[in-house]
Amino acid sequence: MIQILLIHGPNLQLLGTRQPSIYGNADLTSINRKLTQWAKSNGVRLVIEQSNHEGRIVELIGKAKGRFEALVINPAAYTHTSVAIRDAIEGAGVPAIEVHLSNIYGRESFRQHSLIAPVCKGQVCGFGPLSYQLGLEAALALVSSSDPARKNSNQRRRR
């Protein structure tokens, strides 16, 4: 079974009440519930973590190699500031997808630069909670395309 690690960064536990005009009304619990359902229906074991602490996020990424086939991460504010998270992703050897609820390129200028994106396979932003699902779909596609046996298994499961 494919295992994907999903990391929510700082302040995402405030979703649903924090700036709904930017982040929407969905709270983290409901987002996680939908993602868990998606994972189950796609034969993925999804491990979800949320932390407001940069060091904890770095540790989670550092322990990912050999345990997870892919990483989906919303680094939140650390997107623009954390060389440590960037280096952890680069060193982990696990394909990563960066996701954001809002379109970071349509926001304040300091939010328009991601230190994380250059070490990820791709980035999804601006689609609200759907950004997470799209990121998971991309991660699953990456993992499946790199392993022909998994690719065939996933094709059979989706029929």
Q: What is the pLDDT of residues 138-158, one digit of tens each?
A: 999 999 987 655 444 444 444
pLDDT at 148: 56
What integer pLDDT is reported at residue 17 of this predicted model? 79
Residue 106 lies in a domain: yes
Is 23 assigned a catalytic role? yes
pLDDT bin (cut points 50, 70, 90) of residue 1 is very high
Rg of the chain taking only CA atoms, in angstroms: 15
Confirm whether 159 is domain-assigned: no
How many folded domains does the chain comprise?
1
Residue 144 lies in a domain: yes
Strand stretches in the chain, DSSP E: 2-8, 44-50, 70-74, 96-100, 122-125
Distance CA 156, CA 142 (A): 17
pLDDT score at 156:
43
Question: Does 105 map to a domain?
Answer: yes
Mean pLDDT over 94-123 rounds to 92
CA distance 108 to 112: 7
pLDDT of residue 26: 85
First vs last C-alpha separation in the chain: 18
Could you identify the residue written with the tokens 């950004």?
131
State the pLDDT at residue 151: 47
The reported pLDDT for the residue numbered 2 is 96
Residue 159: pLDDT above 60?
Answer: no
What range defines the domain where residue 98 resides? 2-154
pLDDT bin (cut points 50, 70, 90) of residue 27 is: very high
Set 23, 78, 80, 105: catalytic member: 23
CATH number, domain at 109? 3.40.50.9100
- Does the pTM surpass 0.85? The reply is yes
Based on the residue annotation, tell me whether 100 is a catalytic residue of this protein.
Answer: yes
Q: Read off the pLDDT of residues 123-135 as tens digits, 9 standing for 90 and up.
A: 999 999 999 999 9
63-88 pLDDT tens trace: 999 999 999 999 999 999 999 999 99
Q: Which of 8, 78, 100, 132 is catalytic?
A: 100
Asked whether residue 53 carries a pLDDT value surpassing 90, the answer given is yes
